[in-house]
Amino acid sequence: MRNSASIALTACMLGIVSTTAVAQDLEGTLKKVKDVGTFTVGYRESSLPLSYLDDKQQPVGFSIELCRHVIEKVKSKLGMPNLKVEYNPVTSATRMPLVANGTVDIECGSTANQLARQKQVAFSVTFFVPQFKWLVRTDSGIRTADDLKGKTVAVTAGTNTAQFVNRLNNEEKLGLTIMQGKDHAESFLLVDTGRASAWMEDDILVAGFRANAKIPGDFKLLEAAYPSDPYALMFRRDDPQFKVLVDETLTGLMRSGEFVKLYTKWFENPIPPKGINIQLPMSDKLKELVKEPNDKANS
């Protein structure tokens, strides 16, 4: 009996020591989540098919699915299978401040990894490689980017696209009047209602809005394309422990083939809520990054 009691006590003590050691090893985001018991995910409401709301007003999309794998990894790491998960909407303007101040633990949307942004936040390995394109109404008479000279165009506030269009306008002396939508939905509406002749954004996003329009044929993407910045999941800076967890999750999905399956599901098949198909096969550049993942931003 004494031996049994001794063994039980020893096991109990080892368990306490082990739990304490794990708790002491936690840093940054993981320690915060362990302490408060909640993991908060930032999402976009209209970045189809990456992060958007379905017909039940629930966040869905390719980025959201990637983050759900991160959530499972966090639960496992913390030993908290019933960890509370909250979803917090963000916009182009609010996403970085909300990550930086700790309101959001990870942002799962359509955020570009840029060197300038790395001064405020950190990024995972790349999960999508877009390019900038103009979207116009089919009946606008606009056939090429040159036809936009002197016209009013739309961008979304707080995006890298807005920075690019301003630079393009100045360097090429296009004489554009630039309107800013508060989010992608508003930017699209500016073109839909004729208040703007075109909207520039990453190809996947404008293609998503065109596919989701009441009459998709009313809109078209101009052929001109401009290099954009790689998309990544975003979280707080100076948190190597959490970055390792996120990167290991994504690279694990890439190695197992699950990443390609998820991509096919969201970019090459009908998706909720309307069953539209974005019809955007994986680019050669993204295929390369799946084979050799990295977190590099464009110079």
Give pLDDT tens digits for 89-118: 999 999 999 999 999 999 999 999 999 999
Whether residue 34 is found in the same domain as residue 169: no
Whether residue 171 is found in the same domain as residue 99: no
What is the model's pLDDT at position 19? Answer: 45
**Mean pLDDT for the stretch of residues 173-194:** 97
The conformation of residue 298, written as its DSSP 8-state character, comes to B
- Asked if residue 50 is part of any domain, the answer here is yes
- Asked if residue 9 is part of any domain, the answer here is no
Residues 251, 266: Cα–Cα separation, whole Å:
19
Whether residue 124 is found in the same domain as residue 249: yes
- Asked if residue 281 is part of any domain, the answer here is yes
Mean residue pLDDT of the chain comes to 92
- Asked if residue 205 is part of any domain, the answer here is yes
- Asked if residue 38 is part of any domain, the answer here is yes
What is the model's pLDDT at position 279? Answer: 84
**Mean pLDDT for the stretch of residues 112-130:** 96
Residues 247, 133: Cα–Cα separation, whole Å:
29
What is the model's pLDDT at position 20? Answer: 43
Whether residue 208 is found in the same domain as residue 259: no
| pLDDT tens sequence across 263-278 | 999 999 999 999 999 8
pLDDT at 7 over 80: no
| pLDDT tens sequence across 45-78 | 999 999 999 999 999 999 999 999 999 999 999 9
> Residue 33 is which amino acid?
V
CA distances from 242 to 8, 28, 104, 239 (A): 35, 7, 13, 6
User: Given pLDDT bands bounded at 50, 70 and 90, which one contains residue 298?
Assistant: confident
pLDDT at 32 over 90: yes
- Residue 261 CB partners (closer than 8 Å, separation 6+): none
Instruction: Report phi then psi at 179, rounded to 5.
Output: -100, 150
pLDDT at 129 over 70: yes
* Among the ranges given (1-10, 94-103, 254-263), the one the predictor scored with the smallest mean pLDDT: 1-10
What is the model's pLDDT at position 24? Answer: 57
User: Given pLDDT bands bounded at 50, 70 and 90, which one contains residue 2?
Assistant: very low
The fraction of the chain above a pLDDT of 90, given in percent, is 86
Domains held by the chain: number: 2
CATH number at residue 73: 3.40.190.10
- Asked if residue 16 is part of any domain, the answer here is no
Domain with 98, as residue range(s), is 27-128+231-291
| pLDDT tens sequence across 190-216 | 999 999 999 999 999 999 999 889 999
Instruction: Report phi then psi at 275, rounded to 5.
Output: 75, 25
Domain boundary among 193, 227, 261: 227
Whether residue 241 is found in the same domain as residue 110: yes
What is the model's pLDDT at position 171? Answer: 95
pLDDT at 83 over 90: yes
Whether residue 221 is found in the same domain as residue 136: yes
What is the model's pLDDT at position 140? Answer: 96
Whether residue 135 is found in the same domain as residue 213: yes
What secondary structure does DSSP assign to 187-235, as a single string?
HHHHHHTTSSSEEEEEHHHHHHHHHHSSSGGGEEEEEEEEE---B--EE
Q: Is the Cβ–Cβ distance between 248 and 118 less than 8 Å? A: no
pLDDT at 23 over 70: no
- Asked if residue 72 is part of any domain, the answer here is yes
> Residue 51 is which amino acid?
S
- Asked if residue 250 is part of any domain, the answer here is yes
Domain boundary among 186, 205, 227: 227
Domain boundary among 227, 249, 276: 227
**Mean pLDDT for the stretch of residues 155-184:** 95
**Mean pLDDT for the stretch of residues 163-188:** 96
Whether residue 152 is found in the same domain as residue 266: no
Whether residue 148 is found in the same domain as residue 83: no
